[in-house]
Chains A and B, each alone.
Chain A
């Protein structure tokens, strides 16, 4: 199921027309049509919010990051090139914003001090919930030890299911560098989680 994992640029053919409509709206927004910009936000904000929440591990910080990204997009839209894809462009802005937020966080020297993630709100069978909670808690704790660069590449790869080439485009580094970061993240996470078991 394409798009099921919250991926960015969807590959389905049905999206060709959505992309073109994005292009039209982006041109209008660039010329000062704020209603076109509002529609662009409505189309993209949910996926961007999900992406930022995964990158930052916090819905509140994710809201701030996406909000600031859209404000910056409104200011930069007059220079937006028609041949670029709005979706790719705005995903890149949000990804970079999140990367900067992660970089500005104080390094968590003490992993034990990382707060437990909040329990998901939906209900399931008790044993499944317990198992999920333990897994999510372990993983979140381990993820806090990743460098911002590793975390971003790993989340885009493992949680959003993006191709290495797509991540490279989004982060602005080579696909080889993305592979290296994802590998380091996986190695760190397997070692961290093995040590706690």
Chain B
């Protein structure tokens, strides 16, 4: 057995690079010099210097074949179509066709007075609510749930109708660092109430605004 600088079996070359590869015994068959192929390659990959390999014909051969593969891979990569961003608009359109057949409208919500029979689905109402909040600069709307007043009538799950009567809007927003939190919460609430009344004709008893995150505009993209 060729022993260089204390290399012997079981000396744990497998530990190089953090973590042993899951290999079976046959795959750990050593090269004629006693080194395992995978550890020679892994040292090459991690860039760890290996004085043994530099002078060993078996390791050199193993590294040459790996470098040849690397060269081909890099050539193949360069030969890929140069478009940096493949055009996915047709694909997005096809998925949206499916999505529109599988909409999730959420609960059905009452509009107007108790003796009327006007309704709107939650997803449509939430769109108006979010858009109203986002008329304020530096505000982004996230989760928006609209439901009956807790404790008044049975709660409605998604797909069910909320009993006629006023509703509660729960809206999460992310706001720019420049806003005072109480001020922005108040202004979001007012905008949402105005839109619910004027655009939807929805009776709202409460708008719960949650500040879910603060946006640091310095890290935003231009």
Spell out A's residues near B (CB within 8 Å). 5, 13-14, 16-18, 20-21, 24, 27-28, 31-35, 37-38, 41-42, 45-46, 48-50, 53, 59, 63, 66-67, 70-71, 74-75, 78, 120-122, 131-133, 135-136, 138-140, 158-159, 164, 174-177, 179-180, 183-184, 186-187, 189-190, 193-194
Contacts and interface: CB of A to CB of B under 8 A. Distances in A.
Interface string B122-162: 11001100100000000011111100000000000000000
B106 A32 contact: yes
Contacts of A35: 127
Interface string B200-221: 0000000000000101100111
Given A32-B123, A139-B72, A139-B73, A183 B23 contact: yes
Interface stretch (B94-102, B178-186, B191-199): B94-102
Q: Chain A interface mostly helix, strand, loop or mixed? A: helix
Contacts of A41: 88, 91-92, 95-96
B79 A17 contact: no
Interface of B: 19-23, 27, 37-38, 41-42, 65-66, 68-69, 72-73, 75-82, 85-89, 91-92, 94-96, 98-100, 102-106, 122-123, 126-127, 130, 140-145, 172, 174, 213, 215-216, 219-221
Contacts, number: 157
B221 to A, nearest CB: 7
